[in-house]
Amino acid sequence: MYIIYGIPNCNTVKKATQWFDQNRIPYTFHNYQKLGIGQEKLKDWAQQVGWNVLINRKGTTWRKNSEGNEKIVQTEKGTLQLLSTQTSILKRPLIEKDGKVMVVGFDGDQYLSLFL
């Protein structure tokens, strides 16, 4: 079963869940804002895709404090700490299956090749 990690009001997450729904692919949804995300999961993702990939530099939360955030995200440790406390800075959606990160973000063509 796929797990889609994100926040429900994010347009990119909406595109991803709609794509999965339209293609009748079962998934569970993990809401970062309500459920949070642990350091161990973040470390695992960082090992798989790189810690810089996990940062959403386009979002409102990032832009509100981009100077302060830039100082924090110079290291993996700082980045993962920031992401665990400010989950809206996590890039989304992140799709995982059996503990393996399949993709970060949304690209319909990429989804076709990965999931169908």
What residues act catalytically? 10
Containing H/E element for 102?
Answer: strand 100-104
Of the candidates 94, 106, 83, the one whose C-alpha atom is nearest the C-alpha of residue 3 is 94
Q: Are strands 94-97 and 100-104 parallel, antiparallel or unpaired?
A: antiparallel
Contact call for residues 78 and 72 (beta carbons, < 8 A): yes
Q: Which ranges of 1-116 would DSSP assign to H, the alpha helix?
A: 11-22, 32-35, 39-49, 60-64, 66-72, 76-85, 108-115
